[in-house]
Chain A
Amino acid sequence: AQSVTQLGSHVSVSEGALVLLRCNYSSSVPPYLFWYVQYPNQGLQLLLKYTTGATLVKGINGFEAEFKKSETSFHLTKPSAHMSDAAEYFCAVSDRGGGADGLTFGKGTHLIIQP
């Protein structure tokens, strides 16, 4: 069975500061890893994904994440926060070749941007 732990249900950063959202996973096989963003009362939008290859993955809106197998982590970062980054962020893992039937989501982290 696979699982995802997102540390911190709420994270607050100042505008212009570094954003770090933590995600740890467990999986019995090499995982596929995803970060999604959700704005209020909207669906989820894919930010980035790791399948194979380069462990540092770049996504939309200046976000990136690094797959660290030894730490079973896939933390999301952005060098400089913008007010428009305020949203809910979900980490997800799949070990069945992808597709939503194999996706397990974390509980989400609400990112708050302070002016």
Chain B
Amino acid sequence: SQTIHQWPATLVQPVGSPLSLECTVEGTSNPNLYWYRQAAGRGLQLLFYSVGIGQISSEVPQNLSASRPQDRQFILSSKKLLLSDSGFYLCAWSVVRGETEAFFGQGTRLTVV
């Protein structure tokens, strides 16, 4: 069966520090991968998605970047965090074709102080 791992679960970082959140998927090949950010009362905002290694699409211009160095690995990064980067970050995957829902990781609570 397929599983998705996301870590760390919580993170407190000072303003101006770098960020690296990692997400890996097991049990499937060539998944679509996604990073969402969730802010209180604002639903889920799609930040990045990837349909293959090295292929990244950004939905919202921001202080963050994403990379996909391996088929089932998706990384969210920042060189210098801002206070506004605080939030709950969710990684998700879906089958490239045929499936109709996304499967989510457990999320990372990021607090920038």
Contacts and interface: CB of A to CB of B under 8 A. Distances in A.
Given A43-B105, A90-B43, A100 B90 contact: no
B92 A100 contact: yes
Given A43-B106, A43-B107, A45-B104, A98 B44 contact: no
Contacts of A97: 97, 100
A109 to B, nearest CB: 10
A34 interface: yes
A46 interface: yes
Q: 8 closest A-B pairs (Cβ-Cβ)? A: A98-B100, A100-B102, A43-B104, A107-B43, A99-B94, A105-B44, A44-B104, A105-B43
A71 interface: no
A48 to B, nearest CB: 10
A90 B43 CA distance: 8
B43 A99 contact: no
Interface string A74-108: 00000000000000001000100111110101111
